[in-house]
Structure 1
Amino acid sequence: MITLRPADLAREHGLSTQAVRNYERDGFIPPAARTESGYRIYAEVHVAALRTFLALIPAYGHSAAGRIMNAVHQDELDAALTIIDRGHAQLLSDRETLEGVRKAVLHLTGESETAPGRPEVRDSRTIGELARRLRVTQATLRNWEGAGILVPERDPETGYRVFGASDIRDAELAHLLRRGGYPLDHISTVVQRIRTAGGTDPLAQALNEWQRNLTAQGLAMLEAATRLDRYVRLRNPGVADVGSVRG
């Protein structure tokens, strides 16, 4: 059996030895054995655990990666798989949202080429309804309004915000770009240019970059799945193969 020091694990990934110790403390890698003098000794299973955890981060994010490893180390494999399932569901949702925004841009471009006064399809939401649709808080939507991303009308009788079809489109776009890490001022610039039909080039560039990010995340999920499968089987050789489960 190989024996390694914290520095040996850290060197492979360009980490500090303190980071490796922190990962052990947080349960992302198994507890190390100790020498008589108290020094940590790592083995093959720790190497595999660290590789797995680091592969999970670009696939599911740091927090989810940590929860996955914690679940595996607590022998709660179904809990780990549930976190992974949610990650895949979110990626699919992002892809569908991206496609929806692309269609909205095509629709917007088509409208700009038609005669003025073309009636808009009726589709309105209250702030609560829009927040539920996007799964964000109402405070988030008010922040977007403050940044100039959303410009809802007000109900003349109640004074409540009313988000029309164009507002919903802008909110969907803002939600997508925020997930892509774009700051509010950048999103505001893009949305305002689209809103005034001043050109779709900034939006097209942003969407193409987000598409690349989604592709990279999907590929990272494949890599992470391979690492996790190897690690789970290394820890527990008795894990059943898919074929034997179906049989």
Structure 2
Amino acid sequence: MARKLQSGGTLRPIDLARGYGLSTQAVRNYEEAGILPDAGRTAHGYRTYTPLHARALGAFLALVSGHGHRAAASIMRAVNRGAVDEAYRLIDESHAQLLEDRRTLRAVEGALRDLAPTAVPAGTVASGSGRTFVGPLAAELGIRPATLRKWERAGLVRPRRDPLTGYRVYDEADVRDARLARQLRRGGYLLEQIAPVIAQVRSAGGLEPLEATLRDWHDRVSARGRALLTGAAELEAYLRERG
């Protein structure tokens, strides 16, 4: 039905609403927000729309799937006020974010492949205490204690302080994050690139749960990439029709 609206004649708000599964209030709201071009008015003040408005609404809804509501609305507002280059810039930002998401995903996958169990020196979490200190952990990782402290400042590890001695105490999750950070640094990643990877591991609850979610993560990234393509096609059709 939506396609028929894009090739018909004069349309009412209810026509657009039914064609796209929206409420008439939503259609009016989109027009007032600049997402749709200004509507015409009858002699009695009722809104009238055209196939161009239907095309605009279809483009907006397609853009939402890939860019999100806020970015999609900004893109459409830019187009409708003639600032097409601004719309292109906003589209580029979404593609850049998707590329960064793909890089983060690849970084996690690579780190998980490389993060093989290693022999753990005495004094680390393998001793059964469930905690370790900066010196033994640095020795295990083959780095300097100062590097661990730098990683702490960057948010990659979050040791607590012993209330009696003030020493940094690393629990099992901290050791996991430090090992992952080491693998990513060996892969050439910067600290600011590693931070979101560590955040993903923490939110997943560890490495094993994260492995189980990688396929879903892949699917979501791929779906967003396809949605960006679909949105671009719909926007291009709207731009052509606008002239």
TM-score computed with the length of structure 1 as normaliser: 0.70
Rounded to whole Å, the distance in 2 between the matches of 1:84 and 1:50 is 17
User: Structure 1 40/161 Cα, relative in aligned 2: closer, same or farther at 3 Å?
Assistant: farther
Taking only the aligned residue pairs, the percentage that are identical comes to 40
Runs of 4+ more than 2 Å apart:
114-119, 121-131, 150-177
- What do the CA deviations read for 1:74-116 (whole angstroms, capped 9, x no partner)? 11111000000011010000000011111222223x1x2x322
Does residue 22 in structure 1 map to residue 29 in structure 2?
yes
Secondary structure of residue in 1 paired with 2:37? coil
Give CA-to-partner distance per residue, 1:32-90, whole Å, 9 cap, x none.
10111111111011000000000000111110000000100111111000000011010
Within 1, Cα distance between the matches of 2:169 and 2:78?
A: 43
Contact 1:5 1:40 in 2 (8 A): yes
**Contact 1:3–1:43 (Cα < 8 Å) also in 2:** yes
Q: Distance in 1 between matches of 2:224 and 2:26?
A: 24
Structure 2 unaligned blocks of 5 or more: 1-7, 122-138, 185-193
User: Greater Rg, structure 1 or structure 2?
Assistant: 2
Residue equivalent to 2:98: 91
Deviation at 1:160, TM superposition (A): 9.4
Does structure 2 conserve the Cα–Cα contact (< 8 Å) formed by 1:121 and 1:165? no
Kept in 2, the 8 Å contact 1:68–1:83? The answer is yes
Tell me the residue number matched to 1:203.
Answer: 210
Contact 2:107–2:197 (Cα < 8 Å) also in 1 = no
Is residue 165 of structure 1 aligned with residue 178 of structure 2?
yes
Q: Which residue of 1 aligns with 2:141?
A: 120
Q: Secondary structure at the match of 1:28?
A: coil
Coordinate RMSD, CA, aligned: 3.1
Tell me, in whole angstroms, the C-alpha distance in 2 between the residues paired with 1:23 and 1:161: 54
CA separation in 2, counterparts of 1:161 and 1:44? 65
Q: 1:67-82, aligned counterparts within 5 Å?
A: 67-82=74-89
- Tell me the equivalent position of 1:144: none
Counterpart CA distance in 1 for 2:162 and 2:102 is 34
Q: 2:224 maps to what in 1?
A: 217
Match of 1:100 among 104, 107, 127: 107
Aligned length: 198
